[in-house]
């Protein structure tokens, strides 16, 4: 016997005409069953946009469904009501202009100050020039919050040692000026003395961190591999460290020291402050952990 809502017919259409897999058909069936269990209306033509929105809110707040799951169910309803419309069962499509749930942005991972110091010291104490350069790059990236692409492509003349600033060309070729901490500046000055080691004899390079294998600069991939190897040498899980982790650490540590958000935005080169605001969530999480672990009333 056919469903009064043409669910069986819809599922048959999705299978025969759209080639949906058995697993997909099962998911459609579950989604529709959940919607009709939620909806008190028995007349299909009485379903409104408000009913669909209420269902999404129900999934989000009462069922605590994941964003991906909510959007899949909404997609099912869109296909279903479009089918009903083509079958002339309804005169309007209630799912039109319904916005899906926005994917949650994962909080950025960052390193502790002790972990960063360990990485820098391990690299700088290694007699190999390769690791001494990595130490400088780590300091500069963490001190200025650089993207890895910005770091490796720094021109040799990008730093004004007298004014203690660096000129960085970021996304969209937008330039920004960032102050450099004294420790990072000193490390770069010392590196300048060994920079020629990384340039083949008879060749010149415009890059602060030149590539020995080509006329270009040190690559992002090479830097990525080196810091992963360095993490292992330091006893830190390599999965915890990426070049962007250092940039995240820069922003998080500054906000934890009460640096204002606008200043951090400017140094990171974010076009919108909304992008920078994600780091405030990290800082807030840290405050929650402090309260949990330190406040005398918490465990009473």
Residue tagged 């415009």 (tokens) = 206
Lookup result for tokens 């009473």? 300
Distance (Å, whole) CA 144 – CA 267: 7
Average model confidence (pLDDT) across the chain = 86
Predicted confidence at residue 155, as pLDDT, reads 95
Which residues, 6 or more positions from 196, have their beta carbon under 8 angstroms from its beta carbon?
Answer: none
Crossing angle (nearest 10°) for helices 220-233 and 243-256? 70
CA pair distance 9, 1, nearest whole angstrom: 11
- What pairs with residue 159 in β-bridges? 166
- In this model, does residue 44 exceed pLDDT 90? no
Token pair in block for residue 10: 């819809």
Q: What is the DSSP letter of 240?
A: G
More confident residue, 285 or 196: 196
Cα pseudo-dihedral 263, 264, 266, 270, rounded to 10: -150
Q: Where are the beta strands (DSSP E) in the chain?
A: 159-160, 165-169, 175-179
Q: Is 274 helix (H, G, I), strand (E, B) or coil?
A: helix
Q: Which domains does the chain carry? A: 7-86 (1.10.150.130), 113-294 (1.10.443.10)
**Three-class HEC string of 154-208:** CECCCEECCCCEEEEECHHHCEEEEECCHHHHHHHHHHHCCHHHHCCCCCCCCEC
Question: Under 8 Å CB-to-CB from 258, ≥6 apart: which residues?
Answer: none
DSSP character at residue 112: -
- Contact predicate 291/298, CB 8 Å: yes
| Residues with catalytic roles | 147, 171, 244, 247, 270, 279
Closest CA to 243 of 222, 227, 231: 227
> Among residues 35, 45, 125, which one has the least CA distance to residue 73?
35
Contacts 24+ apart (CB under 8 A), 160-168: 161/185, 161/189, 166/140, 168/144, 168/269
pLDDT tens, 1-23? 344 578 899 999 999 988 889 99
pLDDT at 189: 95
Average pLDDT, stretch 235-244?
90
Taking residues 22-49, what's their average pLDDT?
Answer: 88
User: What is the tens place of the pLDDT at every residue in 101-140?
Assistant: 776 666 678 888 999 999 999 999 999 999 999 999 999 9
Nearest to 101 by CA among 72, 76, 67: 67
């Amino acid at each position: 016997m056919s469903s009064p809502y043409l669910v069986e017919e819809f599922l048959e259409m999705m299978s025969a005409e759209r080639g949906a897999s058995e697993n997909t058909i099962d998911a459609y069936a579950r989604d529709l069953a959940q919607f009709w269990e939620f909806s008190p209306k028995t007349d299909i033509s009485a379903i409104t946009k408000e009913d669909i929105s209420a269902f999404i809110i129900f999934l989000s707040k009462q069922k605590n469904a994941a964003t991906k799951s909510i959007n899949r169910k909404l997609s099912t309803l869109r296909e279903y009501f479009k089918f009903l419309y083509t079958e002339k069962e309804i005169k309007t499509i209630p799912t039109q202009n319904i916005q899906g749930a926005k994917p949650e942005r994962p909080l950025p991972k960052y390193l502790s100050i002790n972990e960063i110091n360990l990485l820098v010291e391990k690299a700088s104490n290694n007699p190999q020039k390769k690791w001494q350069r990595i130490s400088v790059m780590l300091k500069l990236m963490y001190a200025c919050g650089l993207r890895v692409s910005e770091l490796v492509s720094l021109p040799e003349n990008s730093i004004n040692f007298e004014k203690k600033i660096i000129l960085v060309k970021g996304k969209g070729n937008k330039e920004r000026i960032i102050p450099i901490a004294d420790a990072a500046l000193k490390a770069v000055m010392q590196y300048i003395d060994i920079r020629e080691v990384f340039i083949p004899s008879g060749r010149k390079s415009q890059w602060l961190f030149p590539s020995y294998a080509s006329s270009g600069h040190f690559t992002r991939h090479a830097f990525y591999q080196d810091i992963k190897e360095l993490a292992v040498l330091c006893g830190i899980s390599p999965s915890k460290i990426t070049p962007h982790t250092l940039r995240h650490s820069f922003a998080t540590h500054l906000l934890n020291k009460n640096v204002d958000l606008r200043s951090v935005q400017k140094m990171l080169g974010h076009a919108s402050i909304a992008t920078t605001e994600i780091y405030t969530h990290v800082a807030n999480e840290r405050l929650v952990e402090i309260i949990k672990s330190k406040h005398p009333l918490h465990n009473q």
